[in-house]
């Protein structure tokens, strides 16, 4: 059953309170990507076991596969079933229209990413589109996230090496972050400090000194995209510096697929695949729990 506008506003107010707690208590909230119902179950069980607040997120592909309203309904059902603090992030909305649909569907977190849909978007176009979503989000109180330029990588398991000289060209700067936040009025700034989407053959290297400079330059929330394949100590330090949100996708997908492949190979005569999913869910849940420990969010849920 769809949420009422009053319920959506209450959820968004709770989400804002969570971000304030994260800032004050120096923990980050994991934003875990949903591919299907099994990954939602895995995240829900991890949140329940660790008593951690969590975000689950979908972008264009998942929205197309599952439906923007269906995701809202499923998350609400599992949130109630497991008794957990859980919110939805609409990740990388490439257009104003897509982001508005997320706001009106009752998503508490909205990432408007104009450059994702148009890589050559001008700074003026990005600011204009972002400001439009900040304005529309006042309807529900949804938390709006954005960045001033295209973010590198792709949510997959990559075989190529990371070209740091290339991605450094799009690193955040303290001055650029402050200017973008002031121009748009966003709630969350997506920082680029060496993090990039996907996992790679070598571990990622984050510039924590730059992160500290960005944190000192802006008062709003900070998120880190592309958290997969990142050594854990970076997350521990980022939470202490003042990152409130970290996105995780590829590490979960890798655990899901490799476990499913093994289970299918071991059970060649079983065609009711749903009966084989317990190990797959457990593998994804273990990934989520490991991230929660690094983010220092265990025990921080308010239900």
56-82: pLDDT as tens digits: 999 999 999 999 999 999 999 999 999
What average pLDDT does this structure show over 227-252?
Answer: 95
The pLDDT of residue 195 is 85
Query: At 154, is the pLDDT very low, low, confident or very high (cuts 50, 70, 90)?
Result: low
Give me the pLDDT at residue 156, please.
66
238 is a domain residue: yes
Q: Give the model confidence (pLDDT) of 280-297 as tens digits.
A: 999 999 999 999 999 999
Per-residue pLDDT, averaged over 163-176, amounts to: 85
> Is 280 inside any structural domain?
no
- Establish if 188 belongs to a structural domain: yes
Q: List the structure tokens of 65.
A: 């596969």
**What is the pLDDT, as a whole number, of residue 169?**
79
* Assigned token pair, 80: 């109630």
pLDDT tens string 107-149 = 999 999 998 888 889 999 999 999 999 999 999 999 999 999 8
- Whether residue 54 contacts residue 41, with contact meaning beta carbons closer than 8 Å, is answered with no
How high is the pLDDT of residue 6? 97
Q: pLDDT digit string (tens) for 189-199?
A: 999 998 887 67
pLDDT in tens, 22-31: 999 999 999 9
- pLDDT at position 158 is 65
Average pLDDT, the chain: 94
Q: What is the DSSP string of the chain?
A: -PPPHHHHHHHHHHHHHHHHHHHHHT--EEEEE-SSHHHHHHHHHHHHHHT--EEEEE-HHHHHHH-HHHHHHHHHHHHHHHT--EEEEEEEE-SHHHHHHHHHHT-SEEEE-HHHH-TT--HHHHHHHHHHHHHHGGGTTPEEEE-SSPPPEEEEE--SPP-HHHHGGG---HHHHHHHHHHH--SEEEE-SS--EEE-SS-----HHHHHHHHHH--SEEEE---TT--HHHHHHHHHHT--EEEE-HHHHHHHHHHHHHHHHH-TT---GGGGHHHHHHHHHHHHHHHHHHHT-TT----
Task: State both tokens at 238.
Answer: 């980022």
Which residues belong to the active site? 91
Asked whether 56 and 38 are in contact (CB, 8 A), the reply is no
Q: Taking Cα atoms as reference points, which of 175, 168, 126 lies closest to residue 149?
A: 126
Q: Which two tokens stand for residue 180?
A: 């973008």
The answer, yes or no, to whether residue 165 has pLDDT greater than 90, is: no
21 assigned to some structural domain: yes
Is the pLDDT assigned to residue 35 strictly greater than 70? yes
How far is Cα 247 from Cα 30, in angstroms, rounded to an integer? 6
pLDDT tens digits, residue range 89-100? 999 999 999 999
Residue 194 near residue 164 (C-beta atoms within 8 A): yes
Place of tokens 């309904």: 73
Label residue 269 by pLDDT band (50, 70, 90): very high
Residue 189 CB-half CA count within 13 A: 31
Domain presence at residue 262: no
Range 106-127 burial, b when 16+ CB lie within 10 A, else e: bbbbbbbbbbbeeeebeeeebb
Using a pLDDT cut of 90, give the percent of the chain over it. 84
The Cα–Cα gap between 298 and 276 comes to 29
The reported pLDDT for the residue numbered 202 is 78
Whether 255 is in a domain gets the answer no
Report in angstroms the alpha-carbon separations of 246 from 22, 128, 190, 224: 12, 26, 10, 5
Does the residue 61 lie in any domain?
A: yes
Give a yes or no: residue 263 inside a domain: no
Q: What is the pLDDT of residue 205?
A: 87
Total domains in the chain come to 1
pLDDT for res 149: 81
Q: Please report the pLDDT score of residue 153 as a whole number.
A: 60
Most confident of 143-152, 158-167, 226-235, 253-262: 253-262
Residue 177 has pLDDT above 90, yes or no: yes
Give 202 or 299, the one with higher predicted confidence. 299
CATH number of 174's domain: 3.20.20.70
Within its chain, how far is the Cα of 177 from the centroid? 19
81: domain range?
Answer: 5-250+288-295
Q: Does the pLDDT of residue 152 top 70, yes or no?
A: no
């Amino acid at each position: 059953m769809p949420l009422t506008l009053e319920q959506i506003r209450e959820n968004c107010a709770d989400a804002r309170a969570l971000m304030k707690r994260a800032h004050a208590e120096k923990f980050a909230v994991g934003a875990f990507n949903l591919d299907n119902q099994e990954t939602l179950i895995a995240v829900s069980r991890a949140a329940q076991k660790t008593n951690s607040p969590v975000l689950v997120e979908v972008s264009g592909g998942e929205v197309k596969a599952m439906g923007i309203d269906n995701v809202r309904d499923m998350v609400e059902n599992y949130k109630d079933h497991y008794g957990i603090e859980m919110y939805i992030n609409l990740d990388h909305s490439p257009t104003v229209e897509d982001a508005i649909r997320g706001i009106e569907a009752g998503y508490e977190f909205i990432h408007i990413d104009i450059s994702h849909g148009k890589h050559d978007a001008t700074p003026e176009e990005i600011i204009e589109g972002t400001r439009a979503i900040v304005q529309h989000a006042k309807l529900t109180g949804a938390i709006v996230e954005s960045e001033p330029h295209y973010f590198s990588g792709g949510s997959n398991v990559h075989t190529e090496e990371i070209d740091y000289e290339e991605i450094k060209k799009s690193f955040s700067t303290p001055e650029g972050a402050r200017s973008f936040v002031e121009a748009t009025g966003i709630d969350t700034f997506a920082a680029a400090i060496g993090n990039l989407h996907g996992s790679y053959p070598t571990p990622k290297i984050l510039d924590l000194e730059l992160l500290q400079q960005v944190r000192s330059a802006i008062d709003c929330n900070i998120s880190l995209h592309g958290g997969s394949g990142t050594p854990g100590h970076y997350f521990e330090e980022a939470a202490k510096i003042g990152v409130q949100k970290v996105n995780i996708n590829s590490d979960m997908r890798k655990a899901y697929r490799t476990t499913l492949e093994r289970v299918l190979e071991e059970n060649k005569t079983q065609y009711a695949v749903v009966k084989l999913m317990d190990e797959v869910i457990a593998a994804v849940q273990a990934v989520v729990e490991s991230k929660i420990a690094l983010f220092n969010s265990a025990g921080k849920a308010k239900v």
